[in-house]
Amino acid sequence: MPPLLLRNRELLLKPSLYRQSTFRFASSHPNFSSSSSKKKNTKMGDRVPDSGRPGRSSSARGRGSDTLDKLSPYRDGCSSASPTVGHRNKSSASPNVGHRNKLSPYRDGCSSASPNVGHRNSSPQTDGPPQRNSSPERLTSSHGANAQETCLEPRPFDICRTVSDGVVRLQKSLLEINREKKREQSVDVHVEHLRPGMILLKRFISYHDQVKIVQICQELGIGEGGFYRPGYRDGAKLNLQMMCLGKNWDPESRLYEDRRLFDGAIPPKIPDEFKKLVEKGLCDSHDFLKRQKKGSYIEELPWMSPDICIVNFYSNSGKLGLHQDRDESIESRQKGLPVVSFSVGDSAWFSYGDGRDVDKAEKVLLESGDVLIFGGESRLIFHGVDSIEPKTAPSNLVEETKLKPGRLNLTFRQY
């Protein structure tokens, strides 16, 4: 391990004096309050294998003020005249076509060229990688000696419900509607300083921006390079659906690459709107740290410009084992360039600590609209998602976007 990393790890072992230090952005009147969303050392349940996954101004302060209003064409190869989803999937000119059928061990579902007979029967909706077709299609494939197989081509994973899901929703009470309206309009961003280099911006992403995030991720997720259920080298599957933006992270090789190995898809670009929100989160965190006057804010939390975003969708049984995010470049890790994480949908219990010991990990509840940042000497903390709290997503968000039960998480990094 390089000496600097060792030093970081040693520093991580210092007791945190920072936990009670919170700060509220209420328009321009900051005040202090204590953390309420955190509990300690609850034992974690069964985990998926550790992934080893990597393991400016104060006027911008306050709630993310609907930064995502203007949707831009966010995918490579989209002409300015045709930013629509419909065009994105017309892949006749796509360089990916030739690669699409090279299946990886972690690809479930069928393809006409599929050599993976063993995986064929997994649920296409939950396990399959995205395909170009939006509806399932019967395919006949030949696997080995005279084996003739017919199966359904997996549909791309859609984080939102379709009408045919047939979910009947009950009428909301007036009280519920008013509470939600209040929540939507709230500008009560609240900052928690969890430990050196680790900041939680509660309720940072406005309701409007949360809706946009879901909509954009839904569109990207059903297109080329969209959601699939990844697995590790040993064949174990992650308990989530994943899509990468900017660069592809491969859990098997633990490398970042320009194309996805199993289907050759080029990851969509990170939408500029997402980058703006990341920038704003870092600015507001710096403003907070400046007010603390505990040392150099830029040393505690270095600046970063994301070129990678890993989008995870956890169903209610989803989880992610304790791991470090350390597959980014050595420079990025040594400089402590932060990971910035957005949470949307159902809440999650997030664990973090200095080692792999789940019992010693701290726990914090990440709710819809929260932004968690860990950089500097916290860059290499062990962290993971213990559990998802069902039915905790804002019901107006679920209603408006048709987001499926579960949690959307976006982690931004600089390679």
208 annotated as ligand-binding: no
**Which residue number, 285 or 324, has a Cβ lying nearer to Fe ion?**
324
Q: How far is the CB of 1 from ligand AKG (least distance, A)?
A: 20
Q: How far is the CB of 74 from ligand AKG (least distance, A)?
A: 20
Q: Is 8 in the site for ligand AKG (CB under 6 A)?
A: no
Choice from 383, 386, 401, 406 touching ligand AKG (CB under 6 A): 383
DSSP-assigned states of every residue in 65-92 = -STT-S----STT--TT--SHHHHT-GG
Q: How far is the CB of 69 from ligand AKG (least distance, A)?
A: 25
Interacting residues of 181 by C-beta distance below 8 A, sequence separation 6+: none
Q: Is 53 in the site for ligand AKG (CB under 6 A)?
A: yes
Q: Containing H/E element for 218?
A: helix 207-221
190 annotated as ligand-binding: no
325 annotated as ligand-binding: yes
**Which residue number, 124 or 345, has a Cβ lying nearer to ligand AKG?**
345
Q: How far is the CB of 403 from ligand AKG (least distance, A)?
A: 15
For residues 46 and 98, what is the distance between their CA atoms, to the nearest angstrom?
39
- The type of residue at 372 is L
- The type of residue at 256 is Y
Choice from 110, 411, 412, 414 touching ligand AKG (CB under 6 A): 411
- Helices first, then strands: H and E counts in the chain: 9, 17
**Which residue number, 325 or 362, has a Cβ lying nearer to Fe ion?**
325
| Contact partner at residue 89 from Fe ion, ligand AKG, none, CB < 5 to 8 Å by partner kind | none
Q: How far is the CB of 163 from ligand AKG (least distance, A)?
A: 29
- Written as six digits, the tokens of 352 are 């973090």
CA dihedral 211, 338, 197, 186 (to 10 degrees): -10
Site track 299-338 with ligand AKG (rule: CB under 6 A), x = hit: -----------x-x-------x----x-------------
Q: How far is the CB of 145 from ligand AKG (least distance, A)?
A: 41
Q: Is 385 in the site for ligand AKG (CB under 6 A)?
A: yes
Burial bucket for residue 158 (CB in 10 Å: 0-12, 13-18, 19+): buried
Terminal CA-CA length for the chain: 19
| Contact partner at residue 385 from ligand AKG, Fe ion, none, CB < 5 to 8 Å by partner kind | ligand AKG
For residues 399 and 405, what is the distance between their CA atoms, to the nearest angstrom?
11
- Written as six digits, the tokens of 150 are 């017919």
Measured from each CB, the residue nearest to ligand AKG is: 409
Choice from 68, 409, 412, 414 touching ligand AKG (CB under 6 A): 409
Q: How many residues bind ligand AKG (CB under 6 A)?
A: 12
Q: How far is the CB of 295 from ligand AKG (least distance, A)?
A: 27
- 142 sits in the region (left: phi over 0; alpha: psi -120 to 50; else beta) called beta
What is the CA angle 347-352-357, rounded to 5?
125
Choice from 108, 224, 307, 325 touching Fe ion (CB under 5 A): 325
The CA R_g of the chain, rounded to the nearest whole Å, is 21
| Contact partner at residue 310 from Fe ion, ligand AKG, none, CB < 5 to 8 Å by partner kind | ligand AKG
For residues 17 and 296, what is the distance between their CA atoms, to the nearest angstrom?
17
Query: Cα–Cα distances in Å, from 166 out to 125, 156, 162?
Result: 16, 19, 8
Phi/psi at 323 (5° precision): -155, 170
**Which residue number, 54 or 73, has a Cβ lying nearer to ligand AKG?**
54
Q: DSSP code of 16?
A: P
Assess contact for 10 and 337: CB atoms under 8 A: no
| Contact partner at residue 401 from Fe ion, ligand AKG, none, CB < 5 to 8 Å by partner kind | none
The candidate with the shortest Cα–Cα distance to 344, out of 377, 368, 371, is 368
Choice from 350, 352, 374, 412 touching ligand AKG (CB under 6 A): 350
**Which residue number, 110 or 320, has a Cβ lying nearer to ligand AKG?**
320
- Which range touches Fe ion (CB under 5 A), out of 72-80, 81-89, 263-271, 318-326? 318-326
Phi/psi at 387 (5° precision): -160, 160
Binding residue numbers:
323, 325, 383
Binding residue numbers for Fe cation: 323, 325, 383
State the residues that interact with Fe ion by CB under 5 A. Answer: 325
Residues contributing to the site for ligand AKG (CB under 6 A): 53, 310, 312, 320, 325, 341, 350, 366, 383, 385, 409, 411
